[in-house]
Amino acid sequence: MSASTPNYKIKDIPHYLEDMPTTYYVGNAEVPLAEMTSLQKMQIIKSGISKNYLEVFKKSAELDYDSLAKALSVTRTTLINKKGNDKFSDQISEKIIALADLYSYGYEIFEDRERFNKWMLSPNQALGGLAPIEIIDNIYGREEVRNLIGRIGYGVYS
């Protein structure tokens, strides 16, 4: 990164959204992931996402390794083998940030972490009877779930 590029650091356990790892330091300011630009998220991805970050996300989203691996389209072993501050590849980091961003948006709309986590696991008629967690393993599934969350936020029956 050049001198003019901000340095983004993960705050492993932020106060924002009940321990959801969606806050980053930009300089001295905390910025929620859901409010960052695509360019800012790209810079975070290039820095790599650590296993510690994934663990905090996993706990907050109330997911086990099997569900998380399926949602990220990676093997369970890939997630388990990293330790502490070890970083995931750019491709896996991108998937983790995309998933964390989706959860951040859901927590913001639902205003309740546990209620959103439960919603993600529940079959939904708007998704053809599938639970949102079942279709977020690719960009189109995450986009569909994000649109559905947005409709809920605007009070549209979904």
Give the pLDDT confidence of 86-99 residue by residue, as tens digits: 999 999 999 999 99
Q: What is the pLDDT of residue 121?
A: 97
Q: How many domains does the chain have?
A: 1
Q: What is the pLDDT of residue 1?
A: 40
Q: What is the pLDDT of residue 43?
A: 86
Domain enclosing residue 63, as ranges: 8-153
Amino acid letter, residue 140? Y
Q: What is the pLDDT of residues 3-21, one digit of tens each?
A: 444 444 444 333 333 344 5
**What region, left, alpha or beta, does residue 18 occupy, with left being phi > 0 and alpha being psi -120 to 50 degrees?**
left
The conformation of residue 33, written as its DSSP 8-state character, comes to G
Classify residue 120 as exposed, middle or buried by CB count within 10 Å of its CB (0-12, 13-18, 19+): buried
Contact 109, 149 (CB under 8 A): yes
pLDDT averaged over the chain? 83
User: Is the residue at 1 inside a domain?
Assistant: no
User: Is the residue at 2 inside a domain?
Assistant: no
Residue 118 has pLDDT above 50, yes or no: yes
User: Is the residue at 3 inside a domain?
Assistant: no
User: Is the residue at 158 inside a domain?
Assistant: no
Specify the range with the lowest mean pLDDT, choosing from 65-69, 90-94, 153-157: 153-157
E strand or H helix at 29: strand 29-32
Amino acid letter, residue 94? E
Q: What is the pLDDT of residues 25-62, one digit of tens each?
A: 554 555 667 777 888 888 888 988 999 889 988 998 99
User: Is the residue at 93 inside a domain?
Assistant: yes
Confidence of residue 158 (pLDDT cuts 50, 70, 90): low
Contact 72, 100 (CB under 8 A): no
Contact 54, 44 (CB under 8 A): no
Nearest to 105 by CA among 151, 64, 69, 140: 151
Confidence of residue 155 (pLDDT cuts 50, 70, 90): confident
Q: What is the pLDDT of residue 24?
A: 57
Q: How far is CA 71 from the centre of its chain?
A: 10
Distance CA 111, CA 97 (A): 20
